[in-house]
Each structure stands twice: as structure tokens, then as C-alpha cells.
Structure 1
Amino acid sequence: MRLYNAAFRVIEQGGVKSNGEKVSDKTFKLPCGQMVIVQVGKRKFARVRISEEK
């Protein structure tokens, strides 16, 4: 549960971006099948692709 609390806190503080747009909704979900760049803070980036479950 601690990990979720920390993630929610960072979102509330405006420290998360998805494809350059600030994420302000705690229920934000990444689109399935698309490549997305997620940024947390100033220096942490990740290129993410969510694949469909078969």
C-alpha cells in the first residue's frame, strides 16, 4: 500500500507526465497498445507499451 500512497502523492503534486501532459487524475490509465513516454519528476523517464491480454 505504501507504493500506491507515494504514487498518488506525486500525482497530486503535479510530478507525473504522460507524453508531455501533466497527469492530475489518480485513476489515469495508459492506453492499450500504444507507446507512451511517462515522466516522474525531472529526470526519470520510461517508454511504456501496454499489450493486450490474450
Structure 2
Amino acid sequence: MARALGAPPPPPPTAEEIAAAEARARAAIVSMLRQQIADGNPPPEGSKVWAVLAEEEGR
């Protein structure tokens, strides 16, 4: 988004905003992986993806 010349830059994101953005990104990735598996195209056995999905199941 453009800002007026000479206007101060926006403040940096807070730790809470960063954590929320990371959680949204992780949820989107997990959702895409689950859809990929449901479509019959699972990741290879031994892939780190399985560990991420297992961790999400435990939440």
C-alpha cells in the first residue's frame, strides 16, 4: 500500500501479530496437505510432512 511522501513508516508487527500470521500460514499449509492426501497424492513415506501433520493432529 502506498504511503504519502515524508510519512513515517508503519510500526513493525508485534510478537502477537507475527505469531497469528505464522499460525494462519501453518493452518493453510496443513489444509493443502490434507487435501492433497484426500486427492490420492500423498507425500512420500518418511517425508517431514507426516511429522507436521502428526503434530497438528495432537493439537
Structure whose CA Rg is larger: 2
Please state which structure has a larger fraction of its residues in strand: 1
Say yes or no: TM over 0.5.
Answer: no
TM-score by length of 1: 0.30
Please state which structure has a larger fraction of its residues in helix: 2
Greater relative contact order, per chain length (Cα 8 Å cut-off, separation 6+): 1
TM-score by length of 2: 0.28
